């Protein structure tokens, strides 16, 4: 059998008069940080003093011992990921060059490697210098940011984004090693997994074999007790092995069922049974279809239409080599805990690691995968065109086994940009990427993985005669909210599927305090300002607050209220879009995660701490949702059931004073099938307030609850908050029980102010007088009970008053 030897030890890194030890896999920034050459780029404004790293050429070098194997005369250097422009030499002889972070490379080094000591050298040219050179050669192209990321096949957001730092990395960022083999190897295994109308599973394994001899070889494949065998004749290099599995347990997103996985094994042997190579993956049996009838954009899994409760995903660290499987599992589990069932991998990042998709498979998360093109016009000339084709073919095959991956999308916002962002006069007759999105990429997906749908862009309306961001057709992005208009304008839209919408807030206080040394912290202090990358970001935060909430008195108020406002903005959007079911069948919030400590649109910040938005998503994406929405004839109650069973019972609706007194009441029956919704107009005595500034509507159905305030908080004369609080130690932390003596609006506890590792189980709880809630605080520290029940740890909106 062939053997693989990782080459991860003994590396040095040289560049800009520095020679230091290097970690492989890794990148220049992490090596420089480990050696003490640079300060942490995530802290304060250290990022600004590290541009030189991206302008420098770097050399990695290692020496390794080698002994030939007479039974395995072929030796390849296998590079899973090099970032990005590199020349490789072995013992002083060039063996290859690379120009694409998004793909792997394999070089035949059998004639270059020698017995004893060997020296491998990987010399990286500055990615920024290379991209600028290509821009000059090909002519400039429009771009949302003043960086040439569209002229190189590299993670775009390493050049900076409106939520990310500019850290232009270089390095051996994925495994590298020597593969020694003999008569043959499995060059490519491409599984196409389908389910028949009768519920039987089928796997077509398209196998390519690279051969070094002329003897017949044996291919075997097995799954779920089914085994097939094929003999490759001397002139054969490809085969299709078909595995038919009777009635396998189906894979479902976690919102619809279980996610069973089935190991698939492929082996290549000699006719005498000597093992040559093996391939192992896990698959899930499921079907995926995309219904675009009449402009719809509805995903159906195993013929069941699904409202996609989604979040966008960006690389989880600006220095991506630090992202481990455990970290991915933690972050993606946070998504599941927030009732998210769909993850969109955004086009300015990466084809994520195998670990990412394996975790999504296990958790029952659906993945919408963008090809990595974002917010710019991309040249279609060589050599970029060939690199794009090679990376697309490699990654479509690499990810084909994952049931979580349910759709490919050609790009992020580039078709929209061509239509609306004044690109056409600047481009003239130069290429901009259309040939990729409408030609190359659908061809690659159609040829290599016809089991999954392809969509040319996000957003995209479905045809060239309709504006790409038309709400009534296909997918859309909503960014006038946040950028220009109030978040209540989400209700102006009647979309079929919203692939991006978002609202900003700062990260958790403990995250800010770790990353920023400003004294004092203020919304405009230098560190806070540097960790706000959006154009006029703080002004937009201020504008958003002014429409709804009291004026902050100090930084603590500003931090609390901006986080509350973010949560409310997205909750309003999510509940509105879900209330339109089945006309609208997806809401994908921008964004789940961050890549460093920053004020952004995320629900989980750069240090992995939940913002109040996370709790709002958990409520808004619950299987059973009650929401009050304005309709042409007044407020209505909408019940949405995205659970697996019928929702029955009664809906009780009351109009109350802020003191909790019932002014009007109505009760009506509820019987709602799974994956359905029902709208009930409210009677006039409930829908019409006597005093809009002092009344609200309360809707309950079992444990589900919805509130409707007739006025904005800044117009409501909330009382000074009154409550009784008790703190009780429990295993793993504390229970903080609050009983309201007055209305408490969006009561939230921030235990990270006392212990950076502390986490609360709930947030944004509105209590009426006499109601009680208990926050479970998980912490290993001993916390002060008085601190847990007072400002700035325990907050509600009506404590922000003169």
Asked if 18 and 32 count as a contact pair (C-beta separation under 8 A), the reply is yes
Give me the half-sphere count of Cα atoms (radius 13 Å) on the Cβ side of residue 763: 25
**Can you give the three-state secondary structure of 157-173, one letter per residue?**
HHECCCCCCECCCCEEC
Cα separation, 104 vs 142, whole angstroms: 29
pTM score, whole prediction = 0.97
Residue of 605, 507, 613 lying closest to 559 (CA atoms)? 507
CA 356 to chain centroid, in Å, comes to 10
User: Mean pLDDT, 10 residues at a time, over the chain (802 residues)?
Assistant: 92 97 98 98 98 98 93 93 98 98 98 97 98 97 95 98 98 98 96 96 98 94 96 95 97 98 98 96 98 98 98 98 98 98 98 98 98 98 98 98 98 98 95 98 98 98 97 98 97 98 98 97 97 97 96 97 98 98 98 98 98 98 98 95 97 97 97 97 96 97 96 95 97 98 98 98 98 98 96 96 69
DSSP 8-state symbol, 581: T
Residue 134, pLDDT score: 98
What whole-number distance in Å separates Cα of residue 185 and Cα of residue 111?
18
Structural domains of the chain sorted by starting position, each given as residue range(s) with its CATH number in brackets: 3-178 (2.60.120.260), 183-283 (2.60.40.10), 305-620 (3.20.20.80), 624-715 (2.60.40.10), 723-799 (2.60.40.10)
Q: What is the pLDDT of residue 802?
A: 62
Return left, alpha or beta for 394; rule: phi > 0 is left, psi -120 to 50 is alpha, else beta.
Answer: alpha
Distance of alpha carbon 177 from alpha carbon 184, whole angstroms: 18
Q: Which two tokens mark 464?
A: 């060239």
Helices marked H in 553-650 — which ranges? 555-579, 612-620
DSSP-H helix ranges across 666-744 = 684-687
Place of tokens 């976690």: 254
Find the helix packing angle between 555-579 and 612-620, rounded to 10°: 20
CA distance 403 to 187: 22
- Say if residues 144 and 417 touch (Cβ distance below 8 Å): yes
For 610, which DSSP code? B
The helix-helix angle for 354-363 and 325-337 (nearest 10°) equals 30
CA pair distance 252, 366, nearest whole angstrom: 9
User: Which among 653, 655, 621, 614 has a CA at the least distance from the CA of 764?
Assistant: 614
Tokens at 122, concatenated:
């990987």
Tell me whether residue 92 is exposed, middle or buried, using C-beta atoms within 10 angstroms of its C-beta: 0 to 12, 13 to 18, 19 or more.
exposed
Residue identified by tokens 């590298």 is: 176
Report yes or no: 169 and 66 within 8 Å, Cβ to Cβ: no
The answer to whether residues 722 and 740 touch, using CB atoms and an 8 Å cutoff, is: yes
Q: Is residue 477 within 8 Å of 500, Cβ to Cβ? A: yes
Residue 60 makes CB contacts below 8 A (sequence gap 6+) with 11, 12, 13, 22, 24, 121, 122, 123, 124, 171, 172
Q: How far apart are CA 417 and CA 150, in angstroms?
A: 14
- N-to-C CA span, the chain: 77
Please count the CA atoms within 13 angstroms of the CA of 730 that sit on its side-chain side. 13
CA geometry: angle 735, 652, 566, nearest 5 deg: 55
**366-370 and 405-409 strand pairing:** parallel
Closest C-alpha among 246, 179, 245, 240 to residue 204: 240
- Report DSSP state, residue 582: T
Distance CA 67, CA 58 (A): 29
């Amino acid at each position: 059998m062939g053997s693989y030897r990782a080459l991860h030890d003994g590396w040095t890194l040289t560049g800009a008069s520095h020679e230091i030890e290097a970690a492989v896999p890794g990148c220049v920034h992490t090596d420089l940080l480990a050696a003490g050459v640079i300060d942490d780029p995530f802290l304060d404004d250290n990022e600004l003093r590290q541009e030189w790293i991206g302008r420098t050429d770097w050399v990695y070098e290692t020496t390794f011992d080698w002994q030939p194997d007479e039974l395995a005369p072929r030796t390849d250097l296998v590079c899973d990921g090099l970032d990005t422009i590199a020349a490789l030499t072995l013992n002083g002889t060039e063996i290859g060059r690379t120009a694409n972070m998004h793909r792997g490379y394999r070089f035949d080094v059998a004639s270059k490697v020698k017995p004893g000591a060997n020296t491998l050298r990987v010399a990286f040219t500055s990615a920024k210098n290379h991209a600028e050179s290509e821009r000059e050669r090909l002519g400039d192209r429009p771009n949302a940011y003043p960086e040439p990321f569209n002229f190189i096949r590299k993670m775009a957001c390493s050049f900076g984004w409106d939520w990310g730092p500019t850290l232009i990395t270089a390095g051996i960022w994925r495994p590298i090693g020597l593969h020694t083999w003999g008569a043959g190897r499995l060059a490519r295994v491409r599984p196409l997994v389908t389910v028949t109308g009768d519920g039987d599973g089928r796997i077509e394994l398209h196998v390519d074999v690279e051969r070094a001899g002329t003897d017949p070889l044996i291919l075997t494949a097995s799954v779920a007790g089914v085994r097939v065998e094929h003999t490759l004749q001397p002139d054969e290099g490809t085969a299709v092995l078909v595995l038919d599995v009777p009635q396998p347990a189906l894979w479902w997103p976690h919102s619809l069922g279980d996610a069973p996985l089935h190991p698939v094994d492929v082996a290549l042997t000699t006719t005498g049974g000597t093992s040559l190579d093996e391939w192992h993956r896990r698959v899930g049996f499921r079907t995926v279809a995309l219904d675009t009838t009449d402009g719809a954009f509805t995903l159906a899994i195993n013929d069941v239409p699904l409202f996609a409760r989604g979040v966008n995903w960006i690389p989880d660290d600006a220095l991506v080599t630090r992202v481990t499987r455990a970290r991915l599992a933690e972050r993606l589990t946070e998504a599941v805990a927030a009732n998210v069932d769909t993850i969109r991998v955004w086009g300015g990042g990466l084809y994520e690691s195998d670990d990412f998709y394996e975790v999504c498979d296990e958790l029952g998360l659906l993945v919408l995968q963008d090809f990595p093109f974002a917010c710019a016009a991309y040249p279609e000339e060589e050599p970029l065109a060939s690199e794009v084709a090679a990376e697309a073919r490699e990654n479509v095959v690499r990810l084909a086994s994952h049931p979580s991956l349910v759709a490919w999308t050609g790009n992020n916002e580039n078709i929209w940009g061509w239509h609306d962002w004044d690109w056409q006069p600047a481009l003239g007759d130069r290429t901009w990427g259309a040939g990729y999105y409408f030609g190359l990429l659908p061809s690659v997906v159609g040829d290599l993985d016809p089991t999954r749908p392809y969509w040319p862009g996000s957003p995209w309306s479905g045809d060239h005669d309709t504006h790409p961001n038309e709400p009534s057709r296909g997918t859309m992005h909503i960014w006038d909210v946040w950028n220009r208009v109030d978040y209540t304008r989400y209700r102006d839209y009647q979309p079929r599927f919203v692939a991006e919408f978002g609202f900003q807030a700062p990260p958790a206080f403990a995250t800010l305090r770790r990353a920023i040394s400003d004294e004092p912290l203020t919304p405009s202090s230098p560190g806070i300002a540097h960790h706000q990358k959006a154009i006029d970001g703080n002004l937009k935060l201020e504008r958003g607050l002014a429409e709804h909430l009291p004026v902050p008195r100090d930084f603590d108020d500003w931090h609390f209220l901006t986080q509350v406002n973010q949560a409310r903005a997205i909750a309003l959007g999510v509940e509105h879009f879900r209330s339109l079911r089945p006309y609208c069948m997806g809401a994908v919030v921008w964004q789940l995660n961050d890549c460093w400590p920053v004020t952004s649109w995320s629900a989980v910040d750069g240090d992995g701490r939940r913002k109040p938005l996370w709790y709002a998503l958990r409520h808004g994406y619950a299987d059973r949702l009650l929401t009050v929405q304005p309709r042409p004839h007044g407020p209505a109650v909408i019940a949405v059931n995205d659970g697996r069973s019928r929702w029955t019972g009664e809906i009780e609706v009351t109009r109350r004073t802020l003191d909790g007194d019932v002014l009007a009441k109505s009760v009506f029956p509820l019987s709602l099938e799974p994956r359905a919704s029902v709208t009930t107009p409210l009677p006039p005595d409930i829908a019409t307030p006597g005093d809009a500034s002092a009344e609200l509507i309360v809707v309950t159905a079992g444990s589900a609850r919805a509130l409707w305030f007739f006025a904005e908080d800044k117009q409501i004369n909330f009382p000074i908050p009154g409550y009784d609080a008790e703190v009780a130690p429990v295993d793993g932390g504390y229970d903080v029980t609050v009983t309201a003596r007055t209305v408490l609006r969006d009561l939230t506890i921030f235990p990270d102010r006392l212990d950076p590792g502390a986490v609360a189980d709930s947030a944004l709880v509105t209590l009426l007088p006499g109601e009680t809630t208990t926050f479970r605080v998980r912490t290993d520290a001993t916390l002060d009970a008085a601190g847990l029940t007072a400002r700035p740890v325990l907050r509600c909106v009506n404590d922000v008053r003169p």
